[in-house]
Amino acid sequence: MMKNNDTHNLAYLNSFRYHLQVEKGLSKNSIDSYLSDLKDMLGYVDRQIESITDKQVIDYFISLQQLGLENSSIARKRSSLKALVKFLEEEEIELSLDFSQIPTIKYSQKLPDVLSVREMLKLLNSIDLTTALGARNKAMLELMYASGLRISEIIELTMHDLIWEEKLVRVMGKGSKQRLVPVAEESLHYIRKYYDYDRSLLLKEQQCAYIFLNRFGGKLSRMGIWKVLDKQVKLAGLKKHVSPHTMRHSFATHLLEAGANLRVVQLLLGHSSINTTQIYTNIDTRFIIKEHKLYHPRG
């Protein structure tokens, strides 16, 4: 069901669409790009256009940056908003937003490295599956990319955290906040293979509840994951600096650039702050799973 804010804002967006098409003569693709950027921002802020504040827009751009979106993409979204604000001001619509207070996006600003989809698949497809350690590495890196887990969350996963029937993983994030995250179908295949067969070879008849084990059958360490990833990046011939957090940033970036809902991506990542906590309360799990499957490259 469409909310009142959505109905209200849609009227302005339809007028803006007409303006871009008839008065500016823009192509359909350009118009669709403008409107997609604006709908994403409006969905995040969830306010009527006239009442949106500078701080809410800045918080939105900061959220995109924290999720690893390229500065060029954020700058495009800022440009779309600027065009809308200019149009509304020309239409003498009174706004709370003073666009001059929105900082420009610096293209030179250093963001964490993000792998392209092609680079990510090259990395994942280069792993040797003929050994138990290789199968573990494949399952672990596939899960990191499929679900955007932090390195600390990967380490602490236990046998009871995988919900096979629903294709979900239960994650205990920062502040002991639990969340359920979908696992992409193809990635789940490699996790199941490792879990059902190769993990027992590493376990060597020991008792250990953690999923990802070291060569001695104990819990894998942070340094162990760093070493695995560093070695695999070199074997794949990638020239970028890739850390465990790069996997997480790439997960978020690929979803966002494919058109996934920003709120859902934040929830999948387990982000929580004063500005974002409230937006999570009414999101249906089935919708999250649908968004993940629709927009993730492994979906």
Question: Could you report the per-residue pLDDT of 257-290, keeping only the tens digit for each?
Answer: 788 887 788 888 887 543 432 332 344 456 566 6
pLDDT at 215 over 70: yes
CA 150, CA 91: separation in Å to the nearest integer?
A: 47
**Residues 141 and 62 both lie in one domain:** no
Domain that holds residue 14: 4-101
Q: Does the residue 135 lie in any domain?
A: yes
Among residues 66, 137, 112, 73, the alpha carbon closest in space to that of 245 is found at 112
Q: Does the residue 249 lie in any domain?
A: yes
Q: Is 167 left (phi over 0), alpha (psi -120 to 50) or beta?
A: left
CA 39, CA 81: separation in Å to the nearest integer?
A: 10
252 vs 247, more confident: 247
Q: Residue 202: which CATH number?
A: 1.10.443.10
**Residues 38 and 127 both lie in one domain:** no
Evaluate whether 250 touches 115 at the Cβ level (below 8 Å): yes
**Residues 133 and 268 both lie in one domain:** yes
**Residues 91 and 122 both lie in one domain:** no
**Residues 132 and 271 both lie in one domain:** yes
**Residues 43 and 165 both lie in one domain:** no
pTM of the model: 0.61
13 vs 174, more confident: 13
**Residues 88 and 232 both lie in one domain:** no
Beta bridge partners of 180: 170
Q: Does the residue 108 lie in any domain?
A: no
Which ranges constitute the DSSP H helices of the chain? 4-18, 28-45, 54-66, 71-90, 117-125, 132-147, 151-156, 185-193, 199-203, 222-235, 244-258, 262-269, 285-295
Evaluate whether 227 touches 244 at the Cβ level (below 8 Å): no
**Residues 215 and 258 both lie in one domain:** yes
**Residues 88 and 208 both lie in one domain:** no
Number of domains in the chain: 2
In this structure, what token pair is assigned to residue 285? 């799990």
99 pLDDT band, cuts 50/70/90, is: confident
Residue positions annotated with a catalytic role: 150, 174, 245, 248, 271, 280
Among residues 94, 160, 126, the alpha carbon closest in space to that of 235 is found at 126
